[in-house]
Every structure is written in C-alpha cells, then in structure tokens.
C-alpha cells in the first residue's frame, strides 16, 4: 500500500525470506502484468537492514544476462562465504533463470558494487527453482526444481517444451554439479522430458538431505 515499512518490497507476492545478521532478504514473484509496457511491473529481490530498503530486479542489476536473471525470486539461502544464493522460478508459468549467486559490496544498498554468478539448466536440474540448501560442512550446495518451460520462438509466439526437474548437487570445491532425477532413482512424477518434480528440501544436522517431491513415477497426469 506504499506505506512504511513495506514500501521497499519488490512485489507483494512473497515466495522466500531469509534473515542474515541484521539484514532481511525477501524474494517476490512476478504477478502484475503491465499491458502497455508489455512486461511485469513487479517481482525481484529486496533487502532491509533495519533502516532502508533496496530492491534488485533484472532491469536495475544490468539485465537478465548480467544481474538477476528473472524477476520471479522463489528461494533464498545464505552461502558458505557470505554470498547470497537466489533461486528464480514461477510455479504459474514455469519460467525462471536457475540460481544467481550475489556478492554485495561494502554497502548492501549499492547495486553498482554487486557481483553476480549464474547457475542454470542443464547443470541444474531445472531453471524453475523451488529450494536451496547449503551444507557447508560437506562443501555442498543443493538445489531443487520443478520442470521448466523453454521459451518458444518469439517471432511466432509458439510455446516451448516442458523439461527437467529434480535435484542438483554442487561440489563447492570443484564446481561440479551432479543431477538426481528419475534415472538416478528420485521418486516423483516424471514424463517425457520432465525428469522429476522436486518441491522443497532441507539438510539435516547429520548431512542427510530431505527432498519433497510431487507425486510418484507411477502418476500419469
């Protein structure tokens, strides 16, 4: 409603929140379509430090290729060396850009000092991220995703394919990703190019990774 203290959110449809020290990071998904501009007018990442808000969107972070890859932020996790892991995806249209890793500068409000790194499909199981969990003791990052829809030919307006989904595991030391889908025994709905539907995850103190899935491999619709 434009009133403090919530005027700094990137969007009202909040999908993720993370408290890191004296900062609160909040991810919102795209939901309001601006017909005149031909784009969504909301969605992205916002941070509050107790006094001020700063929002990050694809438009103000250097564009999707350089900064935040998608305006739909669906998952957040604190990294093992002070970085922020930002998962993007949208369960309404199944589009996203995977995971962006943000390292802010000295001031969290100075977007020009940010550095970004992108992880995306097919290294990830999907570009439509549903969860991120870090296991710093084991040197692992875990990312879950539902299938994503590849963008069709923009000149024809045709839709894309439904692909991917499942769990991806990153060895932080080597930078190597390993995917876990139906072929690796992950039990969830899968069909054709959809390799799994992982909806959430958490790492237990003993290192066990708990993954929430949608349906089973026997589910037909």
What local confidence, expressed as pLDDT, does residue 196 receive?
A: 95
Residues 6 or more apart from 178 whose CB is under 8 A from it? 168, 169, 170, 171
Q: Does the bond joining 122 to the residue before it have cis omega, within 30 degrees of 0? A: yes
Q: pLDDT > 70: what percent of the chain?
A: 93
Using CA atoms, how far apart are residues 214 and 202, in angstroms rounded to an integer? 16
Using CA atoms, how far apart are residues 201 and 212, in angstroms rounded to an integer? 6
**Lowest-confidence pick of 66-75, 100-109, 145-154, 164-173:** 145-154
**In DSSP terms, which residues pair with 29 in a beta bridge?**
none
CB atoms within 10 A of CB 18: 18
What local confidence, expressed as pLDDT, does residue 4 receive?
A: 54
Average of per-residue pLDDT across 159-167: 91
**Lowest-confidence pick of 127-131, 150-154, 166-170, 217-221:** 150-154
Residues 6 or more apart from 140 whose CB is under 8 A from it? 134, 169, 170, 171, 172
pLDDT digit string, tens, across residues 78-112: 999 999 999 999 988 889 999 999 999 999 999 99
Average pLDDT, the chain: 92
pLDDT digit string, tens, across residues 166-199: 999 999 999 999 999 999 999 999 998 999 999 9
pTM of the model: 0.92
CB atoms within 10 A of CB 116: 17
Tell me the backbone φ, ψ of residue 46, rounded to 5 degrees.
-130, 150
What local confidence, expressed as pLDDT, does residue 153 receive?
A: 60
Q: Are 191 and 178 in contact (CB under 8 A)?
A: no
């Amino acid at each position: 409603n434009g009133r403090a203290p919530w005027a700094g959110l990137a969007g009202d449809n909040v999908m993720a929140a993370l408290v890191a020290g004296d900062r609160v990071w909040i991810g919102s998904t795209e939901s309001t379509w601006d017909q005149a501009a031909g784009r969504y007018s909301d969605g992205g990442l916002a941070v509050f430090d107790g006094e001020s808000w700063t929002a990050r969107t694809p438009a103000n972070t250097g564009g999707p290729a350089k900064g935040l890859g998608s305006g739909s932020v669906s998952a957040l996790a604190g990294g093992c060396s002070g970085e922020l892991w930002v998962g993007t995806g949208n369960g309404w249209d199944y589009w996203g850009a995977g995971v962006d890793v943000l390292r802010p500068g000295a001031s969290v409000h100075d977007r020009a000092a940010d550095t970004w790194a992108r992880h995306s499909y097919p290294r990830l199981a999907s570009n439509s991220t549903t969860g991120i969990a870090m296991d710093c003791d084991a040197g692992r990052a875990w990312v879950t995703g539902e299938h994503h829809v590849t963008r069709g030919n923009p000149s024809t307006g045709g839709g894309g394919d439904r692909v991917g989904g499942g769990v991806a595991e990153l060895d932080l030391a080597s930078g190597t990703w390993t995917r876990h889908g139906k072929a690796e025994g992950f039990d969830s709905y899968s069909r054709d190019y959809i390799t799994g539907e992982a909806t959430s995850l958490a790492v237990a103190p003993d290192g066990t990774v708990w993954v929430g899935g949608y349906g089973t491999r026997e589910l037909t619709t």
